[in-house]
Structure 1
Amino acid sequence: MSRDALRPPARAPHAAVPPRLADTVRIEPAANGGHWLVSIDGVPVSRASSTVAATLSAMDGTAAVDDLRRRFAPDQEPEAFAALVERFRRAGLLEGSPRRPAGRVTYRPPLTIQLATLRAPLLFDRLHRLLRPLLRRWLVWPLAAIVVLGGVALVWQAETAARALTSPLPLADLGLVAAVMIAATLAHEAAHGLTLSHAGAQPRRAGVMLLYLGPAFFVDVTDAWRLPSRASRVVVALAGPAVHAVLGGAAALGALAVPDSDLRRALLVVACTCVTVVVVNLVPFVRFDGYLALMSALDEPRLRARTMSDAADALRRVLFGGPAGPRSFPRRWSVPFGVLSALVPTVIVGFAVERAVRALAGTGPVGAFLVLALQSFVVVAVGVRVARWLVACWRRGTGRLRFVLLAAFLTAAAFGAAASVPVDDVRTTGFVVADDRVLLVSTDDSPASLPVADGSPVDLSTSGILSAHVATGTAWATAPRPRAVPLSAFSPLEVSGVDVDAVVIGAVDVAESSELPVAGRASLRLGSRSVLEAAWTTHVVEPASVLLSFLSPPDTDTKETRR
């Protein structure tokens, strides 16, 4: 008989303690009568079946877990039912594991921080009374027509829109686009709350938040679970993207109608930005509006958390063995949905971190400190979740030796791949066209920090919101000399009459004849290095060296001069 056969079956923590429902938990029938609503401090947290509601109600601190299983789930294995009770405990439904209601400052793992006002019910009640005369069903049709016709208009102007996105924007246009998009984002969130109020429920909180390292507004529409129909909850979730869709359609139609080229360019940028917001918001694998709409349509609360739990359990079984845990979401697509729900936010966070590192590069010790602090926060937040999963694998795997050997192998394989896979060593700087010559320019006072090797390939592109490749050439080093260059050499902004002090660090022989912009971005290809070296140098060594040089200035010669 093997040693694993002698091991006692795994039991969930607290399984021997008779569970007791927390005093702050209330269980009431849902408006549609098909489910029960579970709330903490008056805040709905889940919809439950009649069996689950009866099981929770029977948890009075006197009935043991096995007794509850025999009464309400006799067909379920003891370990599976004990794990269910443990999920209730982790959700804050049982005594001894209180769940604090969201307040003015709330952190939601892994990377969301919210700053809220608790007067949202009063604010949206007043807003609803003010706008109620305009909220009519027939209004949907003209708004839908704007969206459809605006989409056709945007496709018709696709070439002009592409030029607007890939060219530097004048300061006035950028200010207009920024103001419109901030107002649109505010209206987006207000639409969620207003739709919820119109349906008969109340938004609880509203404010600003840092979502996956990006600032955003938010409105807490958890109370939508009180609405009687799934369709009503889906409408609440999609009200926000509808605002951006209508605004994008109107901007595209406006661009088709206005004669002024500058205003047309700004309107097309607004339309394209709105389309991007709508598409991103409908991705169901992140806690955006598309996910909330899907969860409401399926009438399945905590969909991401449950599917990610199933995916983590499946991965644990594949890697480390052990018995299968009970399914949190009994659908065939639970595991793949959970995998994507974990991977997509990871990609978003990685992209956001990479963008922040590039934006803060060259901004001195303050930027270096922000880069290191931001990355440390991300590593800790993600590391805690990974560590918890590893602990669960350690406890429920088939053998400790297999766990140690496989973990060591996977770690070594990951570092080995990162150390051996090459990536292009690309350094980005600016270029200007002067006297029929293409000059490489840098804002760094020490041009040696960006070496230009003779014969290095270089790609030239525009410096708009998006970059468009315009030419390929060969770089040659030149003697450093100061020069004033347009702002568009280093940013997607164009300000007439405003130049930036820079240093010429090289020249480019353009390979093909093409019309070049006055200024733009140049990407120097300086060879290749491993993924590990590139990541370590860019994300750790460079900001750390800047910070250390600021904290520890070079020693000065303090020796006295002898006469």
Structure 2
Amino acid sequence: MTQMTTGPHRSKRAHLELQLDSSPTLGAAVSFGEPADGAASRIVMVSGVPVSRVSPPVVELLSAMDGQSAVRDLHARFAADVPEQDFLALVNRFRSNGLMEGADHKPAGRFVYRAPLTLQVATLRAPAMFAWLDRGIRPLSSRATRALVPAIVLLGVIAMGLQTTDVARLLASPVPLLGLVVVLIVQSVMTLLHEGAHGVTLTRFGGTPRRAGFMLFYLTPAFFVDVTDGWRLEDRWQRVGVALAGPTVHAVLGSAFTIAALFVADGIGRQILLLLGASCFGIVLVNLIPFVRFDGYIALMSALDEPNLRDRSKRDFTRWLTGVLYGTAPVPKRLDRWWSASFGMASTLAPVVLVVFAIMRIQSALASGGPVLAFLVLAIEGAVLAMGVAILLRGVRNAWRAGVSTWRFIAVNLLVVIAVVMAGLCISVPSTTTAGFSATGSEIVLVQGGTRADADIPDGADVALLTNGILVNVPVGEATLAARETAPTSVPLDVLFPVTAGGAEVPATVIGIAQRSLETAGLPSTGQARIELGITNLWQAVWESAVARPLAEIFNQHSDVRQG
């Protein structure tokens, strides 16, 4: 994961917030780089390390912090049209980022923790390492070699198009456990190459990757390279090149895997190649989403030469939304683009969509896998919920600080809460419980993981039969629950999980026998079964799917657990 910071490491004293009567002093280690490539923006540096590109008004504001002018006076001089509390929050953000005297800045070292959930372990020899790598690959980077990159990617896209049916079938089916392990290992290596490409490209353009290493990013392991020095590059398109170097590596390697799959016979080898190709292209597409702080966003920000593009547009969106809801007076936009508020809205919603999708897949795959996995699902859901509530409360607090009418603030928030609650109660969704099925001859046995079974499944319930895919579940038939017999058993791994492992079996409980109106010809031997339980409201469905079902798995209860 590329690290292009917008602020240095937070100091221990940064929590001492300034007040309107405080007189801040710009840190002695802070300096400003000269404009590059005719751009109006400047580079803020701390101890010679680039921090961010900022606009001239911000440079003027920071330069005016001489220890004699109070924050209130600076507000009147530089941003009289911005609410005082917003301006104070901005100044305190400068302080927390180490730009003020009294907020001691310690350069990032081998071990760095950044709130709320990022821990980095780095090597400080990254400059020498990337310089050595650059010297090694320089002979290979001729113009002819660079011309091969788009050609390979184009051929890879064509090869993927020719194998779309095979890829779709593969993603909708369980994959061999060995193949999945190989894919994960190879993808880890490719992620290392992805990050290395950022560092080598920055080095080639004359920059310095200061740190590189391994990190836990919201409990997810990842590699990283700090390319903050890219802010020094005069040519904005060089900065774009640094950002896109990583996705280019995945695009080229994904194309190579996909092309190779054309010449390999069906079997686990071809499955691995197609999985690697599909996952590489998927990583490229996700990385290019400009509404999340991925490589695509950094490339767009660099191409437009708009520092802090996402934060500024999100602020414009929240200001617009605050005005609509609470009637606050219009304020000048932070990003002088006609699409600023729209981009800010997309930047606010996109991470939510990605997180919800990830949680749904995790919950579907792991919630019935036993107490340990169910507890993991609840822990992930709890952490995400806590962060979501914190973000929501911060937004409400900022709206209050915008100077809204007390009665309107209370009335609007109350109406929003009532609308959300009523919507959840009025929106009807199908209520189902998920099981696995095993088809042997004309008999379809339905099972659930562990030693529990849902107690409130009516006889004669409709059953949708689907594939148990690594990414998607495709309908393959319909059936009716014909018998309600529960008994402990053991089943192949792919009955409950989207992986196969030879003769490996897991404990399960038979919850019934399903009967099809048609023959079972063409039905896979294992898959996922969704049993219809009727209709419920959205809140009940969310509760039973996200909370009640994992809890029942943890405590091994025979309870009415439904999934919406």
Report the aligned-residue RMSD: 2.9
Shift of 1:469: 1.6
Identity %: 41
> Which residue number in structure 2 is paired with residue 558 of structure 1?
none
Equivalent pair of 2:43/2:50 in contact (CA under 8 Å): yes
Pair 1:90 & 2:96 matched: no
Q: Residue by residue, what CA displacement relative to the aligned partner does 1:59-80 show, whole Å, maximum 9, x if unpaired?
A: 2122456876898x6xx64647
Structure 1 Cα separation of the partners of residues 216 and 264 of structure 2: 37
Equivalent pair of 2:370/2:449 in contact (CA under 8 Å): no
Give matches, 1:125-136, under 5 Å.
125-136=131-142
Q: What amino acid maps onto 2:270 in structure 1?
A: R
> Which residue number in structure 2 is paired with residue 556 of structure 1?
none
Structure 1 Cα separation of the partners of residues 104 and 305 of structure 2: 25
Structure 1 Cα separation of the partners of residues 533 and 393 of structure 2: 38
> Which residue number in structure 2 is paired with residue 455 of structure 1?
460
SS of 1:424's equivalent in the other structure is strand
Q: Decide whether aligned partners of structure 1 residues 305 and 183 sit closer, same or farther in structure 2, where only a CA change above 3 A counts.
A: same
Give matches, 1:54-133, under 5 Å.
54-63=60-69, 77=80, 79=82, 87-92=90-95, 93-95=99-101, 102=108, 104-108=111-115, 112-119=117-124, 120-133=126-139
Q: Decide whether aligned partners of structure 1 residues 375 and 42 sit closer, same or farther in structure 2, where only a CA change above 3 A counts.
A: farther
Shift of 1:282: 0.7
SS of 1:330's equivalent in the other structure is coil
Structure 2 Cα separation of the partners of residues 384 and 302 of structure 1: 22
Q: What amino acid maps onto 1:274 in structure 2?
A: C
Q: Residue by residue, what CA displacement relative to the aligned partner does 1:488-511 show, whole Å, maximum 9, x if unpaired?
A: 211222223333443332122224
Q: What amino acid maps onto 1:23 in structure 2?
A: A
Structure 1 Cα separation of the partners of residues 493 and 379 of structure 2: 29
Shift of 1:280: 0.8
Q: What amino acid maps onto 2:394 in structure 1?
A: R
> Which residue number in structure 1 is paired with residue 30 of structure 2?
25
Q: What amino acid maps onto 1:515 in structure 2?
A: G
Equivalent pair of 1:106/1:113 in contact (CA under 8 Å): yes
SS of 2:334's equivalent in the other structure is coil
More deviation in 327-336 or 134-143? 134-143
Pair 1:342 & 2:345 matched: no
Q: What amino acid maps onto 1:522 in structure 2?
A: A
SS of 2:66's equivalent in the other structure is coil
Q: Decide whether aligned partners of structure 1 residues 486 and 427 sit closer, same or farther in structure 2, where only a CA change above 3 A counts.
A: same
> Which residue number in structure 2 is paired with residue 531 of structure 1?
538
> Which residue number in structure 1 is paired with residue 7 of structure 2?
none
Equivalent pair of 2:83/2:402 in contact (CA under 8 Å): no
Q: Decide whether aligned partners of structure 1 residues 484 and 392 sit closer, same or farther in structure 2, where only a CA change above 3 A counts.
A: closer
Structure 2 Cα separation of the partners of residues 172 and 546 of structure 1: 27
Equivalent pair of 1:426/1:526 in contact (CA under 8 Å): yes
Structure 2 Cα separation of the partners of residues 99 and 416 of structure 1: 49
Q: Residue by residue, what CA displacement relative to the aligned partner does 1:390-432 show, whole Å, maximum 9, x if unpaired?
A: 1222232431011111111111211121122122112111111
Pair 1:286 & 2:284 matched: no
Shift of 1:250: 0.7
Structure 2 Cα separation of the partners of residues 181 and 44 of structure 1: 31
Give matches, 1:86-235, under 5 Å.
87-92=90-95, 93-95=99-101, 102=108, 104-108=111-115, 112-119=117-124, 120-211=126-217, 214-235=220-241
TM-score (norm 2): 0.86
Q: Decide whether aligned partners of structure 1 residues 450 and 213 sit closer, same or farther in structure 2, where only a CA change above 3 A counts.
A: farther
Structure 2 Cα separation of the partners of residues 133 and 83 of structure 1: 52
More deviation in 226-235 or 438-447? 438-447
Equivalent pair of 1:168/1:463 in contact (CA under 8 Å): yes
> Which residue number in structure 1 is paired with residue 304 of structure 2?
298
Shift of 1:173: 2.3
Structure 2 Cα separation of the partners of residues 356 and 474 of structure 1: 27
SS of 1:404's equivalent in the other structure is helix
Pair 1:521 & 2:521 matched: no
Shift of 1:518: 1.3
> Which residue number in structure 2 is paired with residue 3 of structure 1?
none
Q: Decide whether aligned partners of structure 1 residues 259 and 435 sit closer, same or farther in structure 2, where only a CA change above 3 A counts.
A: closer
SS of 2:257's equivalent in the other structure is helix
Q: Decide whether aligned partners of structure 1 residues 98 and 382 sit closer, same or farther in structure 2, where only a CA change above 3 A counts.
A: farther
> Which residue number in structure 2 is paired with residue 378 of structure 1?
384
Q: Residue by residue, what CA displacement relative to the aligned partner does 1:470-499 show, whole Å, maximum 9, x if unpaired?
A: 111112224234444322211222223333
> Which residue number in structure 1 is paired with residue 5 of structure 2?
none
Equivalent pair of 2:207/2:230 in contact (CA under 8 Å): yes
| Structure possessing the higher radius of gyration over alpha carbons | 1
Q: What amino acid maps onto 2:459 in structure 1?
A: D
Correspondence for 1:422 among 412, 424, 428: 428
Equivalent pair of 1:320/1:397 in contact (CA under 8 Å): no
Structure 2 Cα separation of the partners of residues 368 and 253 of structure 1: 39
> Which residue number in structure 1 is paired with residue 509 of structure 2?
503
Q: Decide whether aligned partners of structure 1 residues 67 and 546 sit closer, same or farther in structure 2, where only a CA change above 3 A counts.
A: closer
Structure 1 Cα separation of the partners of residues 373 and 281 of structure 2: 32
Equivalent pair of 2:121/2:214 in contact (CA under 8 Å): yes
Q: What amino acid maps onto 2:190 in structure 1?
A: A
Structure 1 Cα separation of the partners of residues 362 and 478 of structure 2: 27
Structure 2 Cα separation of the partners of residues 70 and 358 of structure 1: 54
Q: Decide whether aligned partners of structure 1 residues 493 and 372 sit closer, same or farther in structure 2, where only a CA change above 3 A counts.
A: closer
Shift of 1:325: 3.3
Pair 1:480 & 2:480 matched: no
Q: Decide whether aligned partners of structure 1 residues 441 and 96 sit closer, same or farther in structure 2, where only a CA change above 3 A counts.
A: same
Correspondence for 1:255 among 252, 261, 266: 261
Q: What amino acid maps onto 1:87 in structure 2?
A: L
Q: Residue by residue, what CA displacement relative to the aligned partner does 1:304-344 show, whole Å, maximum 9, x if unpaired?
A: 11111111111111111222334221211111111110111
SS of 2:250's equivalent in the other structure is helix
Q: Residue by residue, what CA displacement relative to the aligned partner does 1:175-205 show, whole Å, maximum 9, x if unpaired?
A: 3322222221221111111111111112233
Equivalent pair of 2:493/2:501 in contact (CA under 8 Å): yes
Structure 2 Cα separation of the partners of residues 97 and 400 of structure 1: 35
5+ residue gaps, structure 2 = 1-16, 558-564
> Which residue number in structure 1 is paired with residue 449 of structure 2?
443
SS of 2:485's equivalent in the other structure is strand
Equivalent pair of 2:301/2:307 in contact (CA under 8 Å): yes
Equivalent pair of 1:471/1:511 in contact (CA under 8 Å): no
More deviation in 59-68 or 309-318? 59-68
